[in-house]
Amino acid sequence: MLILTRKLNESLMIGDNIEIKVIKIEEGKVRIGISAPKNIDIHRKEVYDMIVNENKKASDIDIEYEKLQGLFKINEKLQK
């Protein structure tokens, strides 16, 4: 892990297009601003962990092929 010290209004760069800037420091809290391309997802760590866990749970669902195939057949009949 890289550890850096930054003061108010100082920033750091990740690659050529992500800037993290110290916006405010008070009462033991640091407010940061992040400038990054729109295609880069930015989440707080606890939110990121929840997303990863939900995605993992969704991929662990056991679907019976025959039941799924039956649902597609019902859908095809309803569309006709």
Query: Residue 2: what residue type?
Result: L
* Weakest-pLDDT range from 2-11, 12-21, 33-42, 66-75: 66-75
pLDDT of residue 77: 63
Q: How far apart are CA 72 and CA 66, in angstroms?
A: 10
Q: How far apart are CA 37 and CA 78, in angstroms?
A: 43
Of 12, 15, 14, the C-alpha closest to 30 is 12
Q: In which band, very low, low, confident or very high, does the pLDDT at 75 lie, cut at 50, 70 and 90?
A: low
C-alpha distances out from residue 55 to 8, 26, 32, 40, 69, Å: 37, 36, 28, 18, 23
pLDDT of residue 72: 74
The rounded mean pLDDT for the chain is: 88
Please report where in the chains the tokens 């991929």 appear, as a residue: 59
- pTM for this prediction: 0.66
